[in-house]
Amino acid sequence: MSPPRILITGSGAVCSAGKSPAEIFSAVRAGRSSIAPIKQWDVAEWPAQMAGEVADFNPREMVDDRKLHKLIRRTDLFGLYAAGKAIEDAGLTSYRDTLAGDAAATFSDQTGVYVGSGSGNYQNQYDYFPLLTAAKGSLPEFGRELANTVNPMWLLRSLPNNVLGHIGIKYGLKGSNACITHHSCSGSLAVIEGMEALRNGEAERVVCVGHDAPIEPQMVLYYYRLGLLATETLRPFDVARDGSVFGEGAGALVLEQESSAAARNATVLGEVLGGGYASEATGLVAIRDDGDGLARAIAAALDSARIRAADVGMIVAHGNGTRPSDASEAAAIRAVFGSDPPPVTAFKWSFGHLIAAAGLLEATVALAALADGVVPGVATLRELDPDCAGLPATSDSQAPRSKIALILCRGFGGTDAALLVRAA
């Protein structure tokens, strides 16, 4: 039996490559990278200096309400921006405005919010540095001076679920919800849980958002020490690749049951066909060489969508540019697709790795690529690593085999997520 159709009726995105899925896709398609030396602090002495920062970052452009800026962080601004664009794109609130009181209330109760969040950051805790200085090593003094030194709203600014709560308040959405704080798979998991909520009738429509802002000094340093960051640029599947590069931003999709979209006469961008997820239980950073978890996640996604591997028209690989991840990802793709996989691309070379936002943002870009009928090339790929043999990835654009894209995500904890979307 086929699962009920889950339609995509709105999308929004922001990252260093642009402020909409179309803008980001056109940068990727043109082979443009927005990865550059970090500007948020002086990186002259830093061993890793590159990232995909949102240029000319303007908090007011992200969220107009200035009062809110004191209560949330940079990552939340991105999430609220992308979610707002997706809600606007889908016309959710403008449709609700046409409904009578009770029907409008039911509409709100039946609209869920699923968020993939980067959780906390290090910088936020630096708000305690002035207090630590004032306390001169004395904890009782730290306690006494607390209220005079630290913003009373400090804890609220730190909440990992701020985007969830503030989308709810701003747009009056009250349905089922989740805030997933599971590193790079968070955004993909938000789509999977949102899709399942619709399949199971827990909501009639859901807003799915992934957001993150990992570009801060202490985070960059840790990833560098773990051997995960590139010195210059991100070259997925290339023989000379030497690591990943952070990006920042958010992606959002509005998903609906068929009946909900039909009642609103909504424009359909595509559908979410299925999703799968698996863990390798290898600890925080280690992964298996054979891509076992990713292969199982892809198989679970195909099963969830009730389609065959041969139906997939293009693969948006995780392609984070680290040696073990790309090689084992190629192994997983070979394991599932055999000797004839569909065209493979990856997007992170253009705008970096958005960690918790990666899967969701890349899904919005994949939909734009399918709509345009093109698999954009991997511009920084010069020579395919023999370890990644059999992967049809190139620096040139290719033609997708169908309207279906498989989007892969891999995160800490040896976790792997696979999403299947079809463009209208």
Partner 1 sequence: MAASRRVAITGLGLVTPVGNDVATTWDAVLHGRSGGAQISLFDASGFPVHIAAEVKGFDERDLTGDKRLLKFANRSHRFALAASEQALRDAGIRPAETDPTRWGCAVGAGMMGVDFADLVSTHDHAAADGELHAERLLTDDAANDPLAFCRSNCAAGLSLIARRHGILGYATSVHTACASGGQALGTAMKLIRRGTADYALAGGFDSMISPVGIAGFCLLSALSPDNETPQRASRPFDATRNGFLLGEGAGFVVLEEWQAARRRGAHIYAELAGDGNSLSSYRITDSPPDGDGPIQSMRQALASAGALPADIDYLNAHGTSTGMNDRSESAAVRAVFGPHVAHLSVSSTKSTMGHLIAAAGAVEVAICALAIRDGIMPINANLRDVDPDCDLNFVRDEPRRQRVRMTMSNSFGFGGSNSCVVLRHPDEVTL
Sites for partner 1 among residues 307-336 (CB under 8 A): none
Residues 350, 361: Cα–Cα separation, whole Å: 13
Residue 239 binds partner 1 (CB under 8 A): no
Q: Which of 41, 382, 383, 399 binds partner 1 (CB under 8 A)?
A: 41
Residue 248 binds partner 1 (CB under 8 A): no
* 381 and 363 Cβ atoms separated by less than 8 Å: no
Q: Which of 263, 284, 310, 399 binds partner 1 (CB under 8 A)?
A: 284
Considering the complex, what minimum distance in angstroms separates the CB of residue 227 from partner 1? 10
State which of positions 128-167 bind partner 1 (CB under 8 A): 128-130, 132-134, 138-144, 146-147, 150-156, 158-162, 164-166
Considering the complex, what minimum distance in angstroms separates the CB of residue 215 from partner 1? 12
Residue 169 binds partner 1 (CB under 8 A): yes
**SS3 for 405?**
strand
Q: Which of 168, 187, 247, 341 binds partner 1 (CB under 8 A)?
A: 168
Q: Which is nearer to partner 1, 154 or 373 (CB)?
A: 154
* 387 and 327 Cβ atoms separated by less than 8 Å: yes
Q: Which is nearer to partner 1, 33 or 186 (CB)?
A: 186
Q: Which of 45, 56, 97, 102 binds partner 1 (CB under 8 A)?
A: 45
* 29 and 290 Cβ atoms separated by less than 8 Å: no
Q: Which is nearer to partner 1, 179 or 307 (CB)?
A: 179
Q: Which is nearer to partner 1, 32 or 129 (CB)?
A: 129
Q: Which residues contact 134 (CB under 8 A, 6 or more apart)?
A: 141, 145, 149
* 276 and 301 Cβ atoms separated by less than 8 Å: yes
Considering the complex, what minimum distance in angstroms separates the CB of residue 151 from partner 1? 8
Considering the complex, what minimum distance in angstroms separates the CB of residue 297 from partner 1? 9
* 407 and 366 Cβ atoms separated by less than 8 Å: yes
Q: Which of 91, 217, 324, 390 binds partner 1 (CB under 8 A)?
A: 217
Considering the complex, what minimum distance in angstroms separates the CB of residue 309 from partner 1? 19
The pair phi, psi for residue 234, each rounded to 5°, is -95, 120
Among 178-186, 308-316, 380-388, 394-402, the segment contacting partner 1 (CB under 8 A):
178-186
* 163 and 209 Cβ atoms separated by less than 8 Å: yes
Nearest to 316 by CA among 328, 329, 304: 329
Nearest to 402 by CA among 420, 414, 379, 378: 420
CB count, 10 Å around CB of 169?
Answer: 10
**Partner residues linked to 352 by β-bridges:** none
x/- letters, 86..125, toward partner 1 (CB under 8 A): ----------------------xx---x---xxxxxxx-x
Considering the complex, what minimum distance in angstroms separates the CB of residue 423 from partner 1? 26
* 296 and 420 Cβ atoms separated by less than 8 Å: no
Q: Which is nearer to partner 1, 18 or 293 (CB)?
A: 293
State which of positions 52-71 bind partner 1 (CB under 8 A): 71
Considering the complex, what minimum distance in angstroms separates the CB of residue 387 from partner 1? 24
Q: Which is nearer to partner 1, 129 or 340 (CB)?
A: 129
Match 């679970």 to its residue by tokens. Answer: 300
Residues in the interface with partner 1 (CB under 8 A) total 90
CB count, 10 Å around CB of 362?
Answer: 33
Nearest to 347 by CA among 398, 407, 302, 270: 407
Nearest to 60 by CA among 87, 39, 82, 81: 81
**SS3 for 203?**
coil
Q: Which is nearer to partner 1, 213 or 381 (CB)?
A: 213
